[in-house]
Homo-oligomer: A and B are copies of this chain.
Amino acid sequence: MTIDNTNGGTDSRSGADTDADTDGGRAAAKPNPSRRSEQSRRAILTAARELVSELGFAKLTIEAIAARAGVGKQTIYRWWGSKGEVVFEAFLALSDPGEGIVLPDTGDVETDLKYLMRETVAEFADPAFEAPVRALNAEIINDPKLARLYHEKMAAPVDEAKKERLRSAQRAGQIAADVDLDLALELLYAPLYQRWLLRSGPLTEEYADSLVALTLKALRP
């Protein structure tokens, strides 16, 4: 984890709105982040992570998080705006890779993509991954703010690494130079993700291979 600044990351109030926040007269209190207990923060995040795995997101309660963390409920409400935010930050802390992500590059884009996609299929089959990620996605559907955070903090770094691999393929002449890489990524991953998330079909390695093959046909120069 990178050294934290005052903001701390998930702070919901620093939302999309332009936080000039001169506070013309709002009654709401503004907790001072510099006095925040790092110990409590970590205990809450840990408890949240554990409980999501144990109960699933829907059955998770703020009270249970507070109890497990040995923390007053107010300490949660003071720093997070919803159950979703807590859980999201818990995931964020977990998944934070620290530095850059580098994907394998054997020189053959098809080989590498098939490897990546098979890996993703395997990951989706892991029950420890399943519950929390489903929970997060279900929340994202109904919470634009969370969606934005998710894409900024969690998806973007990974996507950037994948696009870097595609750029390398472009340089190698394996993919057309004028292809929109964002679109290309969606073509590759969205079908897979959707099958898993919405259970619209079986997820096998063969499926992953077919998907890569078909997509690469579209991307070829």
Contacts of A183 in B (CB 8 A): 191, 207, 210-211, 214
* CB pair B135 A142 closer than 8 Å: yes
Asked whether any CB of chain B lies closer than 8 Å to the CB of A195, the reply is: yes
Q: How many copies does the complex hold?
A: 4
Partner among B56, B140, B141, B187 whose Cβ is within 8 Å of the Cβ of A191: B187
Interface residues on A, range: 35 or more
Selected interface stretch from A7-15, A41-49, A101-109, A144-152: A144-152
In the complex, what's the smallest C-beta–C-beta distance from A67 to chain B, in angstroms? Answer: 12
The residue of chain B having its C-beta at the shortest distance from the C-beta of A159 within the complex is B200
* CB pair B141 A180 closer than 8 Å: no
Partner among B151, B191, B200, B214 whose Cβ is within 8 Å of the Cβ of A200: B151
* CB pair A186 B193 closer than 8 Å: no
In the complex, what's the smallest C-beta–C-beta distance from A120 to chain B, in angstroms? Answer: 14
In the complex, what's the smallest C-beta–C-beta distance from A188 to chain B, in angstroms? Answer: 9
* CB pair A191 B198 closer than 8 Å: no
* CB pair A134 B140 closer than 8 Å: no
Contacts of A200 in B (CB 8 A): 147, 151, 155, 186
In the complex, what's the smallest C-beta–C-beta distance from A214 to chain B, in angstroms? Answer: 5
Complex: A66 Cα to B166 Cα, angstroms = 54
Partner among B56, B57, B139, B217 whose Cβ is within 8 Å of the Cβ of A218: B217
Contacts of A211 in B (CB 8 A): 183, 186-187
Asked whether any CB of chain B lies closer than 8 Å to the CB of A190, the reply is: yes
What is A's interface to B at a CB cutoff of 8 Å?
1, 56-58, 134-135, 137-142, 144, 147-148, 150-151, 155, 179-180, 182-184, 186-187, 190-191, 193-195, 197-201, 207, 210-211, 214-215, 217-219
A-B contact pairs, 19 of them (CB 8 A): A58-B142, A138-B138, A140-B198, A141-B198, A151-B200, A155-B200, A179-B214, A182-B201, A183-B210, A184-B214, A186-B194, A186-B195, A187-B187, A187-B215, A190-B191, A191-B191, A193-B194, A214-B219, A218-B218
